[in-house]
A and B are shown apart, each in its own frame.
Chain A
Amino acid sequence: MKNKTSFPPQEGEARPSRCPDNSAFKQQKLPAWKPQLTIATVLSSFFLTGAFCLLVGVCLILSANSVREIQIDYSDKCSECSKLRENSSNWNKECHCSINFALKEGILGDVFMYYGLQNFYQNHRRYVISRSDAQLLGRNANIQKSYCAPFTTYRNGTPMAPCGAIANSMFNDTIDLFYNLNSSVIQVPLLKTGNSWWTDKNVKFRNPESYNLSSAFAGTARPPYWQKPVYLLDEEDERNNGYINDDFIIWMRVSAFATFRNLYRRVKRIRQFADGLPAGNYTFRISYNFPVTKFKGRKHVILSTVVWSGGSNPFLGIAYVVTGTAATLAGFVITAIHLKLRKKKTYFQK
């Protein structure tokens, strides 16, 4: 550093030139693409987007309209049961309720049965975190460390399995569908498995390892609102019992909004129902266990088909049509303004 004194450098003193490199990067001359907002690009982007959106929007609306959907609000229709459930001391009293409806035309194709809840804040922060994923993986996890409180243990120290507010509040109505054909009543065959995501069923939920399920859950107790312990959720199917019960798994995938629907059953396409649900009279027979009146909630049962774009929600279709129209109109406005301005010289005068 001696040579950096305030005196001029000695002649003959060898020193590398301090001239900066002549690289494109250092001289800020990197080759570059310089897109400009020209009238051509702007108008083409508006018109092309407009056309595309209109096209997609029309397709979406058409396909959403082709979805057949029957939604029945049964929170009022089963008012007796609702009242019974308002008093929690009646928790072990059974209450049934039937709802009739008629199909003028048959519903063809795969038919899905959903239960819908309204005003049920599954997306509340404290609700969302109130679970123990480790426990649901069948691990011997310390649920005290999770956010399950206050549904962690009973006073005597017995841990709840599964713990947390989500599990505790599991939807436990039983809904059966009957087809009334010539005064005979046929139960519509429903599939209760294969309704959840593969990853949930096979990765996210696992039962504790043991020789049988009841011993696996020994030393734990059911959540307070449950009528039966977790290992009795589906006594008929070993692979749909315990934590890997589909109804349970679906419930545990909390909804993003306070109004939501969860897949409950699928119509098994056999015999009369091979093409879907034929026209005729049907009855929902509901074992009413899940109280909603206390928090002004509502319950629905929904039968629906699906298309490539999902269910009957027309939002996307309408939004696309509106966007497409707006983009096209804006394109015309821009064209008009541009044509009007073109005569004016906006460039610098040299």
Chain B
Amino acid sequence: MCWDPGTHFIIAARRRSRSYICKKFPKLLKRKKRRKKEKKKKKRTNNSIKTSKYNFFTFLPLNLFEQFQRIANAYFLFLLILQLIPQISSLAWFTTVVPLVLVLAVSGVKDAIDDFVRSWQVVGELDEKWMNVQVGDIIKLENNNFVTADLLLLSSSEPHSLTYIETAELDGETNLKVKQALTVTAELGEDLQKLTEFNGEVKCEAPNNKLDKFTGTLTLRGEKYALDNEKMLLRGCTIRNTEWCFGLVIYAGPDTKLMQNSGKTTFKRTSIDRLMNVLVMVIFAFLGLMCLILAIGNGIWEFDKGYYFQVYLPWAEGVNSASYSGFLMFWSYVIILNTVVPISLYVSVEIIRLGNSFYIDWDRKMYYPLNDTPAQARTTTLNEELGQIKYIFSDKTGTLTQNIMCFNKCSINGKSYGDVYDMSGQRIEINENTEKVDFSYNQLADPKFAFYDHRLVEAVKLNDVPTHRFFRLLSLCHTVMPEEKKEGNLVYQAQSPDEGALVTAARNFGFVFRARTPETITVVEMGETKVYELLSILDFNNVRKRMSVIVRSPEGDLTLYCKGADTILYELLHSSCDSLKEETTEHLNEFAGEALRTLVVAYKNLDEDYFQDWIRRHHEASTALEGREDKLSELYEEIEKDLMVGFSGNLGQALGEAARLVVLGCVTGAVRNMAVLAMNIGYSCNLLNDDMEDVFIIEGRTSDDVLNELRNARKKMKPDSFLDSDESNIQFEKSSKKTKIIPDEEANGVYGLVITGHSLAYALEGNLELELVRTACMCKVVICCRVTPLQKAQVVELVKKYKKAVTLAIGDGANDVSMIKTAHIGVGISGQEGMQAVLSSDFSFAQFRYLQRLLLVHGRWSYIRMCKFLKYFFYKNFAFTLVHFWYGFFSGFSAQTVYDEWFITLYNLVYTSLPVLGMSLFDQDVDDRWSMLFPQLYVPGQQNLYFNKMVFVKCMLQGIYSSLILFFIPYGAMYNTMRSDGKAIADYQSFALMAQTCLLIVVSVQIGLDTSYWTVVNQFFIWGSLSVYFAITFTMYSDGMYLIFTASFPFVGTARNTLSQPNVWLAIFLSITLCVLPVVGFRFMKAQLKPTPSDKLPRMAFKPEHLRLRRTSTRRSGYAFSHQHGFGALIMSGRNMRPKSPFATTGTFSPNSEKYKHKGL
């Protein structure tokens, strides 16, 4: 299913409220039969989206219409019309037509390709069979299928028609959820006949964006059944653990809850785009002003001189007064000075962005070989914005950590395992070549599991009691569901990935969790099948941050096993294990320093009598009507006290890299992370760390509480921000109605802020949002936990609204779509199941850590290139055009051009286009390693320093200065002079040639000065453009061209006669010196006096060993981050148990058994 960000959905008209009446379900639609359905085209919403904008016939008119909406293009059309008026026309028609046609053609081709690629992509990525799904269809889904429409669950393969789904795409939570069908529909089973005959009517609410709510009724055979969210499979979920299920499509396509949640697709433009539009308007005003001055000048001139000069030059037909002549001249100058309006600006900018997008696609350092995913720039118009990101919004776990976990290290009874040492006792880095532990003795081992420390296996084989106890605990204390379709092929369905990792580890070390019933857990312990009696699960929750099980072993021992966050468990440990606690703590610190996620496990032997008493009270508590929760936790607390021995297990995660970016952010003090993360994840990802002065937690349940909490936080960070004299407060006073831009405020330290979804809802309301923004933006890291997709988008929107800053949102699931679409830049993590995030993103890659490279290298380069390009582009056009302005004062304001008309035509298109394109595609001020190592280099982009209105004014002034030089040096050099053979040289054509040659060489030298990275291509473009200029000039001014096209090339012989003169070249050299030398001096002095970060880089050999990044090592237990109650209750009730587990229930299967050998497997 695919929703492209740049497309417009075309859907059947949507009524405000609607009941889907599905009178008859004509056919059971097994997916293969889908085609037959196509003929019945009803006006129901189907699942497809139209994405292409043009077809073959509409392309030309539509595209031209769109292009002429661009102000610069429309202006050129207007110019063309002006040129048709003979009194005004001051330039040959080709001077504007050729550039216009070229620009239109290039843009048109690009649009066509974009459109083609887009429709092609969509067709490609959209699973075709889902396209025609319509409301009322019945769909069969199988295990691991992706739900592609909102379905009413009818029946499933599991007992009680339960269906397990994973909603990571929807809400980011990785645990499994259960849905259950109505009993009436569950009866249908997989009987196709019955399903085909199913005849009911569903009435439901209009499509909305509430993910957790659904109300409706099903009328079947005259009886009404209530429908709620428990019976809905929402689009974006994935079916897990369920062989098959049938669902009735309730909402399809854009009506689905997911799509309703994904926010509006907006056309994104970069801040430079907007600035460019403003600048183009400024240029128009400037042009008008120039034309006005010249028109007035013409009026005066005609009155004072032209009137008398009529002897030799009568006024044009119809002109009878000086003022009328001035009026006409205004328009003539509009034509002449048109080159100051950069018509090729937009098209060049597009080409540059396209080029820089390709670099992202091509970057091997952002290619992830494991799932063969290169980075992809899905939007080619936002590149330079990547160099200006100030706020990053990130999705939680999945995005930051890859969500893959494996068991790496452990510390058992004070002994640490997991590291590999060489003969001399030195620790060695683990890489692909390191010898793995051989688990072949265990037939049930998971082949994907890798472990390197052989000592642990030996300890297991030697029947080391604590080690056995450790793994037994891991195999018993969890809520994982096993699945064994084929004998020996165990698959675990874990609520959270860390549970899965731990159970898998135990399995490989010989404690195989095989099967479970509500009352028992079957474990194959070192080849021997044991059935433990499961007496109670003390479930996990957010406050307890631990879970326990109470089991009775086959030998009859009662034991409580517990695992949880270290801080929590340490408090519960019996005082007898204090020494062990210390050793373990040391190990824990070590592990945490390597950015591993840690947890601690413990056990306690229980007394039979005590347990019986406890279980009775537990039963009472769990049936109590009031305060059930509290009572239960009290009981849990009681029994979990005085745990005996602590071990620590450690989960390694692909987390290191992710953390690094955040560390970087802290170094620069610039990239602020308003991460949509849960707090404990914050610690484990190093988002929050001990360097922070304080981490504020906002968890108020009322609007006032939230306000107070926010205010207190702000008071602590910046006490004087409440004073009336504070800058921001003054600003609020001033601008009352308009959207206020809040200036950046500096806090007096590094702070973090955690806000819960509930409080966020209040904070996002009306008057609180300002408070939220002010407080939040002072913090380095803001974490919002338990937020809905819409809230994510709101947070992004909030920052966009109040801060003049560029935001980036990164996420991998469908729940991030809204935020990705809202932020200035959306980044999707690709290569995983479900493409929602990627499809609505602007950039995508496979690993979170690539974000660093995307921003610090590609973003920075793109931004610098774009800025350099714009600076140069405006400069060259000003220098070019303003020479006409000065000449006006010497030619009776007659709209006489300085240059040859052909030069005017070709200047922007041929002579100066390629060098500047070369620069903006290849330039690097510092290479990628430096960019990555010195995040300070990124700061100027955030502050928008390289191109803003000030810089534009500077370009303009430089252009004006250059044009003065370019006019007055040739003027002075030619005034009343002659060639060295006495013949004329001060003629118009020689002057034109001289001025244009000066100009072209000056701008070429200028681009050379701007280019800091001279590749072969740059050399070729710059020298090539100059040689092409001379070649074209000599060709156009040749005898042959004149004799053939007499009217078009009147400059015959000028090049030969003028460029052979030494004083012409001396004048050219002088103009270059005067234009360029001050720039050199100025730039050098600026680098000395006000250095930019890149000027500050020490220019010496690259020495990576000195530049290692520091790593913050803080120990936090990363365990316990799934924020839901576990599956404990479900498991104990047995509702989810299947009666069929043929291999496990026999109880005799073991790797070494005779039966196994017989099978010859």
B-contacting residues of A (Cβ < 8 Å)? 1, 4-8, 15, 17-22, 26-28, 30-37, 39, 42, 45-46, 49, 53, 56, 60, 110, 112, 114, 116, 119-128, 130, 133-134, 137, 139, 149-150, 165, 168-169, 195-200, 203-204, 250, 253-263, 266, 291, 294-296, 304, 306-313, 315-316, 319-320, 323, 327, 330, 334, 337-338, 341, 346-348, 350
- Determine the chain B residues whose CB is within 8 A of the CB of A296 once the complex forms: 305, 308
Q: Does B481 contact A (CB under 8 A)?
A: no
- CB-CB < 8 A to B332: which residues of A? 125
25 contacts between A and B (CB under 8 A): A6-B146, A18-B367, A19-B367, A28-B924, A36-B1012, A123-B892, A133-B1047, A165-B312, A165-B313, A169-B311, A195-B982, A199-B1053, A255-B987, A256-B987, A304-B978, A306-B979, A310-B980, A310-B1061, A311-B976, A313-B977, A315-B972, A323-B1070, A337-B1088, A347-B1096, A347-B1097
Closest B residue by C-beta to A134: B1046
**Given A122-B988, A134-B1047, A260-B986, residue A37 in contact with residue B359 (CB < 8 A):** no
**CB-CB < 8 A to B983: which residues of A?**
195-197, 263
Given contacts A30-B1017, A256-B990, A348-B934, is CB(A46)–CB(B972) below 8 Å?
no
Most chain-B Cβ atoms within 10 A of its Cβ — which of A8, A134, A307? A8
Shortest distance between the CB of B416 and any CB in chain A (Å)? 34
Contacts of B988 in A (CB 8 A): 122-123, 128, 253-256
Question: Which residue of chain A lies nearest to B336 when distances are taken between CB atoms in the complex?
Answer: A125
Question: Is B1087 close to A, CB under 8 A?
Answer: yes
Check if B768 is an interface residue, CB within 8 A of chain A.
no
Beta-carbon contact of B373 and A18 below 8 Å: yes
A1 partner residues in chain B, CB cutoff 8 A: 120, 123-124
Taking CB atoms, residues of chain B closer than 8 Å to A27 are 362-364
Determine if B1087 and A37 form an interchain contact, defined as CB atoms under 8 angstroms apart: yes
Query: Across the interface, which residues of A come within 8 angstroms of B624, CB to CB?
Result: none
- A sample of 9 more A-B contacts (CB under 8 A), given A121-B306, A121-B313, A315-B972, is A5-B125, A30-B922, A49-B1073, A53-B1073, A121-B894, A123-B894, A199-B1056, A261-B976, A346-B1091
Task: Specify the chain A residue showing the minimal Cβ separation from B1061.
Answer: A310
Interface pair B359/A26, CB less than 8 Å apart: yes
Q: Would you call B984 and A128 a contact (CB within 8 A)?
A: no
> Beyond A20-B361, A348-B1098, is A32–B1013 a contact (Cβ under 8 Å)?
yes
Contact: B308 with A294, CB < 8 Å? yes
A22–B363 alpha-carbon span in the complex (Å)? 9
Given known pairs A296-B308, A338-B1088, the reply for A124 and B891 (CB within 8 Å) is yes
- Complex contact A259–B1066 (CB within 8 A): no
Please indicate the chain B residues that have their CB under 8 angstroms from the CB of A112 in the complex: 978, 982
| Contact of A36 with B1099 in the complex, beta carbons under 8 Å | yes
Q: Which residue of A lies closest to B972 (CB)?
A: A315
Say whether B281 faces chain A, with CB atoms less than 8 Å apart: no
Q: For residue B948, which residues in chain A have a CB less than 8 angstroms away from its CB?
A: none
How many A-B contacts at CB < 8 Å in the complex? Answer: 301
Min distance, Cβ B506 to any Cβ of chain A, angstroms:
28
Chain B residues closer than 8 Å to A114, beta-carbon distance: 978
Residues from chain B with a CB closer than 8 A to the CB of A22 are 364
Instruction: Please choose the segment from B187-195, B669-677, B1077-1085 that sits at the chain A interface, where 4 or more of its residues have CB less than 8 A away.
Output: B1077-1085
Residue B117 at the chain A interface, CB threshold 8 Å:
no
Contact flag A123-B896 (CB < 8 Å), given A255-B987, A258-B890: yes
Provide the residues of chain A in CB contact with B1070, threshold 8 Å. 53, 316, 319-320, 323
With a cutoff of 8 Å between Cβ atoms, the chain B residues found around residue A19 in the complex are 364, 367, 369, 372, 374
Given known contacts A30-B922, A119-B305, A165-B313, A199 and B1046 CB-to-CB distance under 8 angstroms? no
Question: B1066 near A60 (CB under 8 angstroms)?
Answer: yes
For the complex formed, measure the closest distance between the CB of B361 and the CB atoms of chain A, giving whole angstroms.
7
The reply to whether A257 and B975 contact each other, CB–CB distance below 8 Å, is yes
Q: Is the CB of B1043 within 8 A of A125?
A: no
Residue B163 at the chain A interface, CB threshold 8 Å: no
Q: Which residues of chain B are within 8 angstroms of A196 by Cβ–Cβ distance?
A: 983-984
Q: Are A124 and B1046 in contact (CB under 8 A)?
A: no
Docked CA distance A8–B313 (Å): 81
A53 to B1070, CA, bound (A): 8
- Bound Cα distance A34, B928 (Å): 14
**Interface assignment of B867: CB less than 8 Å from any CB of chain A:** no
User: Which residues on B are within 8 Å of A, measured CB to CB?
Assistant: 1, 90, 120, 123-125, 127, 146, 305-306, 308-309, 311-314, 316-317, 332, 358-359, 361-364, 367, 369, 371-374, 833-835, 861, 890-892, 894-896, 922, 924, 928, 934, 936, 969, 971-992, 1012-1018, 1039, 1042-1043, 1046-1047, 1050, 1052-1053, 1056-1057, 1061-1063, 1066-1067, 1070, 1073-1074, 1077, 1080-1081, 1083-1085, 1087-1089, 1091, 1093, 1095-1099, 1106-1107
Residues of A within 8 A of B895 (CB): 125
Chain B residues with CB below 8 A from A256, complex form: 971, 974, 986-988, 990-992
Separation in Å of the A11 CB from the closest CB of chain B?
13
A28 CB to nearest B CB, Å:
6
Q: Is the CB of A110 within 8 A of B308?
A: no
Q: Which residue of A lies closest to B992 (CB)?
A: A256
What's the Cα separation between A140 and B369 when bound, in Å?
75
B1052 and A204 form a contact (CB under 8 A): yes
**A316 and B987 contacting across the interface, CB-CB below 8 Å:** no
Q: Which residues of B contact A122 (CB under 8 A)?
A: 988
In the complex, what distance in Å separates the CA atom of A178 from the CA atom of B1016?
65
Once the chains bind, are A150 and B314 in contact (CB under 8 Å)? Answer: yes
Known A263-B978, A313-B977: A327·B1097 in contact at CB below 8 Å:
no
Pick the contact of B1015: A32, A255, A291 (CB < 8 A).
Answer: A32
**Which single member of B308, B978, B992 contacts A310 (CB below 8 Å)?**
B978
A350 to B1088, CA, bound (A): 20
Query: Smallest CB-CB separation from A133: which chain B residue?
Result: B1046
Residue of A21, A150, A195, A315 contacting most chain B CB atoms (<10 Å): A315
Contacts of A259 in B (CB 8 A): 975-976
A124 touches B987 (CB 8 A): no
- List chain A residues, Cβ under 8 A from B317: 149-150
B124 x A257 contact (CB < 8 A): no
**Which residues does chain A contribute within 8 Å of B373, judged by CB atoms?**
18
B1107 to chain A, nearest CB (A): 7
Q: How far is the CA of A337 from the CA of B1057 in the complex (A)?
A: 46
Asked whether B833 lies within 8 Å of A8 as measured between CB atoms, the reply is yes
**CA gap between A338 and B974 in the complex, in Å:** 39
Q: Which 6 A-B pairs have the closest CB atoms?
A: A199-B1053, A1-B124, A256-B991, A26-B362, A315-B972, A169-B312
Q: A315-B975, A348-B1097 are in contact. Are A32 and B1014 (CB under 8 A)?
A: yes
Contact of B1074 among A169, A323, A350 (CB under 8 A): A323
The contact of B1066 among A26, A35, A316, A338, by CB within 8 Å, is A316
Q: Chain A: which residue is nearest B356 at the CB level?
A: A28
A200→B317 CA distance, assembly (Å):
31
Residue in A closest to B922 when the chains form the complex, CB atoms: A30
**In the assembly, what is the distance between CA of A197 and CA of B1053, in Å?**
8
A100 to B983, CA, bound (A): 26
> B1039: which A residues are within 8 A, CB to CB?
199, 203
- Cβ of A18 and Cβ of B364 under 8 Å apart? no
Nearest-CB distance from B1135 to chain A (Å)? 30
From B374, B969, B976, B1017, A260 is in contact (CB under 8 Å) with: B976
A145 to nearest B CB, angstroms? 9
B363-A20 in contact (CB<8A): yes
Name the residue among B127, B891, B990 with the largest chain A CB count within 10 angstroms. Answer: B891
- List residues of chain A with CB within 8 A of the CB of B308: 294-296
A295-B311 in contact (CB<8A)? yes
Residues of A within 8 A of B146 (CB): 6-7
Say yes or no: A306 contacts B1015, CB within 8 Å. Answer: no
> A313: which of B892, B976, B1098 is its contact (CB, 8 Å)?
B976
Q: Give every chain A residue within 8 A of B1066 (Cβ-Cβ).
A: 56, 60, 309, 316, 320
Residues of chain B lying within 8 A (CB to CB) of residue A263: 978, 982-984
Asked whether B978 lies within 8 Å of A311 as measured between CB atoms, the reply is yes
Decide if B125 touches A4 in the complex (CB within 8 Å). Answer: yes
Q: With A199-B1052, A295-B311 given, is the CB distance from A28 to B359 under 8 Å? A: yes
